[in-house]
């Protein structure tokens, strides 16, 4: 009986640790028309260890310390974009995130949600949805192909550094964060 209990316990613990590392958005990695960027905690730890004597290198090390993972999913496929929107909305209903802000302008509709962190300047999860589809459909020739982007960032995240992180890592949709900060 003890062996059965221990076996079940090990399976449950293994499954729960897997579930914490996976995301509802991970299914989009397997889609052909979705570009995916995943940076794991191990990668952030390696980036922190890169020795740099420059001030810029030290700033980058400070930015990535405390980050667990970064996931970016982007598509120009209208059907997949609709599914991404639906999945994003479904996640919001169960994730207990707070809306940080929404921006609608000529370039995109941007929604940003966060999970509270250790203080008012820090969050444990940052989630952004960028929809350029509806806005750019009429201007496609001028601005290139419209896209939908989901950015998920977890860890001990300083809200004051979000645009720096996305800019230095050249994350799709990062330009919208910079615009939000300037508004």
In this prediction, residue 168 carries a pLDDT of: 58
For residue 99, name the pLDDT band (cuts at 50, 70, 90): very high
pLDDT tens profile 48-71: 776 566 776 777 777 777 888 889
- Quote the CA–CA distance of 101 and 103 in Å, as a whole number: 7
CB distance 72 to 36 below 8 Å: yes
- Phi first, then psi: give them for residue 167, nearest 5 degrees: -70, -50
Closest by CA to 91, choosing from 104, 64, 73, is 73
CB distance 81 to 150 below 8 Å: no
pTM over 0.75: no
How many C-beta neighbours within 10 Å does residue 115 have?
15
In this prediction, residue 87 carries a pLDDT of: 94
Average pLDDT over residues 80-87: 93
CB distance 133 to 147 below 8 Å: yes
The residues with which 123 forms a beta bridge, in sequence order, are 116, 157
For residue 125, name the pLDDT band (cuts at 50, 70, 90): very high
> What is the maximum span of the chain, computed from C-alpha positions, in angstroms?
69
Top pLDDT among 65 and 164 is at 65
| DSSP run (H or E) holding 51 | none
Give the least confident one: 5-14, 41-50, 96-105.
5-14
Beta-carbon contacts of residue 66 (< 8 Å; ≥ 6 apart)? 155, 156, 157, 158
């Amino acid at each position: 009986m003890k062996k059965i209990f221990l076996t079940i316990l090990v399976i449950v613990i293994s499954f729960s640790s897997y579930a914490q590392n996976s995301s509802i958005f991970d299914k989009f990695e397997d889609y052909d028309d979705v570009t995916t960027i995943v940076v794991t905690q191990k990668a952030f730890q390696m980036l922190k260890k890169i020795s740099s004597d420059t001030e810029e290198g030290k700033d980058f090390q400070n930015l990535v310390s405390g980050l667990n993972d970064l996931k970016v999913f982007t598509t120009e496929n209208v059907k997949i974009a609709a599914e991404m929107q639906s999945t994003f909305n479904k996640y919001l209903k169960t994730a207990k995130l707070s809306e940080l802000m929404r921006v609608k302008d000529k370039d995109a509709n941007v929604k940003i949600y966060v999970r509270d962190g250790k203080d008012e300047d820090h969050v444990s999860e940052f989630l952004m949805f960028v929809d350029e589809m509806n806005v750019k459909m009429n201007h496609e020739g001028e601005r290139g192909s419209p896209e939908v982007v989901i950015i998920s960032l977890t860890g001990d995240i300083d809200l004051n550094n979000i645009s720096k992180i996305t800019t230095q890592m050249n994350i799709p949709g990062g330009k919208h964060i910079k615009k939000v900060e300037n508004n």
